[in-house]
Chain A
């Protein structure tokens, strides 16, 4: 669906300003049907990458293909693509209803009034449809952005910090909408700082650091990346192997963790010494843990796309 190969994007601030390497050899691949999340610290190049995918920026060098074509401004390629920008930079002189109608008409077809009304009602914008965007709150503008994304049958959806400024109820509903769009076969590419949200939605994740992808894989694999501990709970009379770090003791029940490499050794020990194993599970890490671990560990080299 999207292929980026060794993409460089360099800016210069002012005529003699310092060169900024927003993207520095970024390579990634988004497959058809992925719910792909781009994560990284501020300034890592997430938004720049998305702008390049959308043709809003032309890379200094490297290759980008979206659905087999090089993205360009206003290309017919976007007839099945929707984009929700990070900043609500909309046509502020239009009302909520006019803006929704205008953005959908840019796909070359006029939508029936009822379809527009239905979407606006669904997002709670019904009572505000005559309100100019200039007078709307940031959250309301973001909802207009969501509305225009829902107006077309999308194959590819770009979301740049989509839930920023939205109230929790709408965030929840938006998540359901995204799941629904994804279930219908659309590919979704999302930038977000909210890692818990990515955990809930994404199937694949790329971590960007200083304009490079330093890790890219399935969400599940990334979440278990560098995980080297198993949580165990055993009933023991006091004799436990040295490599079991006990963190809690309640009567004869011990809780703790063992290194991943010694799992089989621990199983043998338990069998030989009659320990009753109550629990043994790979320590569950959040995406945040993996993210921090990967960033702290520097760039381990991009994980190959499966």
Chain B
């Protein structure tokens, strides 16, 4: 089992390394992120050093969450579309192992890139004489968990849907939409009186809102860390909670993806 996981994970890493689509996505975002960071760099002064660093660091971390989604999307869609899984599943390599390797490879790449951004941020802190705060590590770990959640979500979506449809689905059907619909139904049911249908719809949208995957599950609690980069001791617990949430979410998407993967026709 270990050898199978190793072989598949290394192959996925090779895929990520050679994927031109991923490279293009990375370069485009790097360009956008660099342009976004340009004002912070140009207006850089000793006083504004911390703000510049914060802007750049947070921009890149935000990008890495999307990049995690791209990793999940590409690794699954590429193998499904070129039908190479035929070669894998006609050998003693069961789908659970192969699927686990896609999660593992996505996690490793995310970790590597997040680590790189963290090192750059620390280097920049030294260069600009900004104190290195624990928030950098906290945000990096939080970003890693968020990226893992996104990768898991997109691995599942791409197992079921065409990649373009998966992206559209994720963009439209997310927590914000369900929250908005829930509020809408709540308002409507207040106006219409005791409408069973509206109340049921409100509950349904509330359920979907709760179930919709969140990138940062404890965003409201950790907002201060993102602005000051200071981490009160007890706030580290939120990372543990996030880890628990992401593990549960990933396990759910893993099982769902596995369910659909095993029912696919590999012909």
Contacts and interface: CB of A to CB of B under 8 A. Distances in A.
A102 interface: yes
4 closest A-B pairs (Cβ-Cβ)? Answer: A74-B94, A105-B7, A106-B91, A56-B266
A74 B266 contact: no
Contact of A93 (B15, B83, B97, B265): B15
Contacts of A79: 92
Nearest to A71: B90
Interface stretch (A81-89, A190-198, A229-237): A81-89
B26 interface: no
Contact of B4 (A51, A93, A106, A148): A106
B190 interface: no
A106 B93 contact: yes
A76 interface: yes
A188 B262 CA distance: 27
B20 to A, nearest CB: 10
B93 A74 contact: yes
Q: Which of B91, B93, B266 counts the most A-chain CB atoms under 10 A from its CB?
A: B91
A55 to B, nearest CB: 7
A74 B88 contact: yes
Contact of B87 (A73, A85, A107, A132): A85
A183 interface: no
A93 B262 contact: no
B4 A108 contact: yes
Contact of A98 (B14, B86, B266): B14
Contacts of B95: 73-74
Interface in A60-101: 73-79, 81, 83, 85, 87, 89-94, 98
A54 interface: yes
A103 interface: yes
Contacts of B15: 91, 93
Nearest to A93: B18
Nearest to A22: B267
A91 to B, nearest CB: 5
Given A56-B266, A93-B19, A74 B89 contact: yes
Contact of B90 (A11, A48, A83, A90): A83
B205 interface: no
A78 B95 CA distance: 13
Contact of B11 (A47, A91, A158): A91
B6 to A, nearest CB: 8
Contacts of A107: 91-92
Nearest to A95: B14
Contacts, number: 97
Contacts of B84: 89-92
18 contacts: A11-B265, A47-B267, A73-B266, A74-B93, A74-B98, A75-B92, A76-B92, A77-B92, A91-B15, A91-B84, A93-B19, A98-B14, A102-B11, A103-B91, A105-B4, A106-B92, A106-B93, A107-B92
B82 interface: yes
Contacts of B82: 89, 91-92
Interface in B234-267: 262, 265-267
Contacts of A304: none
A74 B7 contact: no
B9 to A, nearest CB: 11
Contacts of B86: 56, 83, 85, 89
A73 B262 contact: yes
A48 B89 contact: no
A11 B265 CA distance: 10
A57 B25 CA distance: 35
Interface string B1-21: 101100110010011001100
A114 interface: no
Nearest to A158: B90
Contacts of A109: 3
A110 interface: yes
Nearest to A83: B90
Given A83-B90, A89-B83, A74 B267 contact: no
Interface string B69-85: 00000000001001110
Contacts of A108: 1, 3-4, 92
Contacts of A94: 11, 14
Contacts of A48: 267
Contact of B89 (A11, A73, A76, A89): A73
Contacts of B14: 93-94, 98
A55 B83 CA distance: 15
B11 A56 contact: no
A134 to B, nearest CB: 9
